[in-house]
Amino acid sequence: MNTVKSAEKQSIEAVVIGASAGGVQALLTLFSGLPADFRLPIVVVLHLPEDRDSKLAEIFQHRLPIPVREAADKERIAPGTLYFAGPGYHLSVERDRTFSLSGEEPVHYSRPSIDVLMESAADAYGARLAGILLTGANIDGAAGLAKIGEQGGLTVVQDPAQAQARTMPEAAIRKRQPHLILTLDGIRSLLLQLDTSSCPTPTPPPNS
């Protein structure tokens, strides 16, 4: 497992995060203290009931100084913005760095699926992507985080001993050893370090 110090050297253009059971509180803790000039886009899938409207963007916008919104189909990903996947649709990142929504079958009983987001973002950003998997009660996200690592991206898992539900972080660790296993405080510090060392101008998307 690499150190936070070595991760600082990796130039990141986007962050994707997955969480399930216990995820709201974990994300509130993780994002507390993000500065208004935070530059990296962050895209989050938090497992949600399909039959209810999501209030996540509204809840987090009241608490954070950066723009927060629910990701929309064909929307171009903007820097310094926190995006949440809405309920009932898978959220993907296209190679031109726009969002795509789809109604395909649930993955690991989940729609939106963390795997769908992370695997598509890995194709779009390659080694300039950071993937973070937090607390959760199923294995969604383990394969997606592994793909980010295979593409050269940075992979981070919440310490299972701290997670409200250990299944998701433990599944990710079993699937492919992540670069870092950190507490929420450690992940927050890492986000700030990655933002400081991020590329001000995104590189072109990888070729198909």
Among the listed residues 23, 122, 11, 34, the one whose alpha carbon sits nearest the alpha carbon of residue 82: 34
Active site residue 20: yes
Q: What is the DSSP letter of 107?
A: B
> Counting Cβ atoms within 10 Å, is residue 137 exposed (0-12), middle (13-18) or buried (19+)?
middle
Of the residues 47, 90, 108, 179, which is catalytic?
47
Evaluated on CA atoms 5, 7, 10, 15, the torsion sign reads: negative
- Single out the catalytic residue among 90, 92, 113, 140: 140
Handedness of CA 154, 11, 121, 45 (dihedral sign): positive
CA distance 62 to 60: 5
Would you say 136 and 21 are in contact if contact means Cβ atoms under 8 Å apart?
Answer: yes
In the residue annotation, 115 being an active-site residue is answered as no
User: Cα angle vertex 79, ends 73, 83, to 5°?
Assistant: 45
CA distances from 30 to 23, 48, 69 (A): 10, 19, 17
Separation in Å, CA 204 to CA 81, 108, 124, 207: 20, 32, 10, 9
Asked if residues 201 and 16 have their Cβ atoms less than 8 Å apart, the reply is no
Point out the residues that are catalytic: 20, 47, 140
